[in-house]
Structure 1
């Protein structure tokens, strides 16, 4: 290296190093933004308020700032609903291990059978699956309030003569700003690895 070049690097090494560091930081944040942009905004969710089983009320906007995974169930469901909640309980533990559950991520379970799913019944259901209610909300309301929420999420519910329900088997990922970002299948159709990946991206 010539004396002139050596002198240049001696004088400007700090400036060059700082510029490289800035480019690296911009690249990292740019990549994170690009990743999040790959999960498209499907729709802005309407706000809603329902009753939590702990006696308080839950309003969707009050949990803005957290990523929300939302499921719709009825506790007398013999198959899809309990299988989905069981899978969510496993995801809860994985998110806890990453320090995300409760602080950055919340789960929301809404019953569309409020007549039978009393607060006591819902609490027993939550306890059965080991749900941590500091970050997992089990909600109910009067029939009109619940129907308004199911309609906004695009859930079809049809009560059967035997008291069971035919319903859309979908769950939803809502971002920190109240936007629906993903729809997922329930029970055996859940790809938990990809769901966790989506949740972690949006929680960053």
Structure 2
């Protein structure tokens, strides 16, 4: 039996699919692709991109916020260790995306500083900030729960998601440094 949340996500994706314009690249995507969200984002380099521009490579994506002192550093460290352990032929077709849960404070400049401090390779890592509603829609499509508190902190799912080249969810994994080997094997063997 499907939960209310799963049904809501399906309804959201169906509504987004039905509003896609004819001739857009998103018409060629599978029905369950998150790229049907067709949302605009701003990168750490202050460039505006559409979420569907990530199509073509596998994406390991997580929703975080840069001033987090708890789970976000662990998620990012786990993703970095995955990056280090992936064989070159797999890594050549894999990118990493961090999406801010606090877009009001995670400006492109803040994201850029975060990426530099963490030594995230800009050729392989994209950090995104955007509209609050787009963040909520993406979180729903990825089945990531979050709740903001008044002190600009965010309680959120401690997960990252592997998307295939067309934006379909392959699997989700808890951001746990002890699961890096297991996760790398899942990615390589997919």
TM over 0.5: yes
TM-score, structure 2 as length reference: 0.75
Largest Rg, 1 or 2:
1
**C-alpha distance in 1 between matches for 2:111 and 2:54:** 21
**C-alpha distance in 1 between matches for 2:124 and 2:189:** 18
- The equivalent residue for 1:191 is 179
Backbone CA RMSD of aligned residues: 2.0
Alignment of 1:158 with 2:135, yes or no, is no
Structure 2 portions without partners, runs of 5+:
1-31
- The equivalent residue for 1:112 is 101
Alignment of 1:170 with 2:159, yes or no, is yes
Q: Deviation at 1:99?
A: 4.2
Distance 1:174 1:104, change over 3 A: same
Deviations 1:116-172 (A, max 9, x none): 111111111111221111111100002122122112112222111322111122211
* Larger proportion of helix: 1
**C-alpha distance in 1 between matches for 2:150 and 2:54:** 37
- The equivalent residue for 1:130 is 119
Aligned length: 158
Structure 1 portions without partners, runs of 5+:
1-42
**C-alpha distance in 2 between matches for 1:123 and 1:67:** 22
TM-score, structure 1 as length reference: 0.70
Map 1:11-22 → 2, pairs under 5 A? none
2:129 to 117, 140, 155: 140
- The equivalent residue for 2:171 is 182
2:61 to 53, 70, 76: 70
SS of aligned partner of 1:191: helix
1:50 to 41, 47, 52: 41
| Partners of 2:75 and 2:160 within 8 A in 1 | no
**C-alpha distance in 1 between matches for 2:112 and 2:58:** 23
Distance 1:173 1:84, change over 3 A: same
